[in-house]
């Protein structure tokens, strides 16, 4: 969420910060794409930690439907974002400006934004649920 809320406005409005440097919308998108590409490694790490932790909790008998559902949501949305959407967007950017102005690009970009929001909600639900379960234990 921080990447979208704080980084994107800076990247897509460089004229408010930079002096005598002009970046068009396409080049700003290239920068943002690289930020998300690098962030994908962190997302893979988060998905791995969720898998390991939830598997350990399952093995210890601490099973919870809400935690399980949100963990599955986090894992699948993480993999979709990092393994499907980010590479697809970057490959379309590599083709050029025309590809990024297509309906296909707009649809993939919209789907990646939706997936990222689902990931954020899943992480919040999982975090809160695990905290509540710790408190009850």
Q: Where are the domains of the chain?
A: 40-136
Residue bearing tokens 């969420």: 1
Average pLDDT, the chain: 88
3-class state of residue 116 by DSSP: helix
pLDDT of residue 53 exceeding 80: yes
* pLDDT-derived band at 43, boundaries 50, 70, 90: very high
Q: What is the model's pLDDT at position 33?
A: 86
pLDDT band at 28 (very low <50, low <70, confident <90, very high): confident
| Confidence band of 29 (pLDDT split at 50, 70, 90) | confident
Across residues 86-90, what is the average pLDDT?
95
Question: What is the DSSP annotation of 19-32?
Answer: SS----HHHHHHHH
Contacts of 133 (CB under 8 A, 6+ apart): 62, 64, 67
CA–CA dist 12, 17 (Å, integer): 11
In 3D space, the residue among 32, 120, 29, 38 whose CA is nearest the CA of residue 82 turns out to be 38
In terms of pLDDT, which residue wins out, 104 or 4? Answer: 104
Q: Is the pLDDT of residue 22 over 80?
A: no
Encode burial over 89-100: b for 16+ CB neighbours within 10 A, e otherwise. Answer: beebbeeeeeeb
d(CA 112, CA 117): 9
Residue 38 confidence class, pLDDT cut points 50, 70, 90: confident
């Amino acid at each position: 969420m921080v990447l979208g809320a704080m980084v994107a406005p800076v990247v897509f409005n460089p004229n408010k910060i930079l002096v005598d440097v002009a970046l068009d919308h396409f080049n700003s998108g290239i920068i943002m794409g690289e930020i998300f590409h690098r962030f994908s490694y962190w997302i893979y790490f988060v998905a791995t930690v969720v898998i390991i932790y939830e598997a350990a909790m399952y093995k210890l008998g601490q099973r919870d439907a809400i935690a399980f559902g949100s963990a599955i949501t986090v894992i699948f949305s993480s993999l979709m974002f990092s393994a499907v959407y980010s590479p697809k967007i970057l490959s379309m950017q590599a083709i050029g400006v025309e590809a990024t102005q297509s309906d296909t690009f707009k649809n993939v970009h919209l789907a990646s934004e939706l997936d990222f929001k689902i990931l954020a909600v899943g992480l919040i639900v999982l975090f809160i649920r695990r905290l509540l379960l710790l408190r009850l234990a």
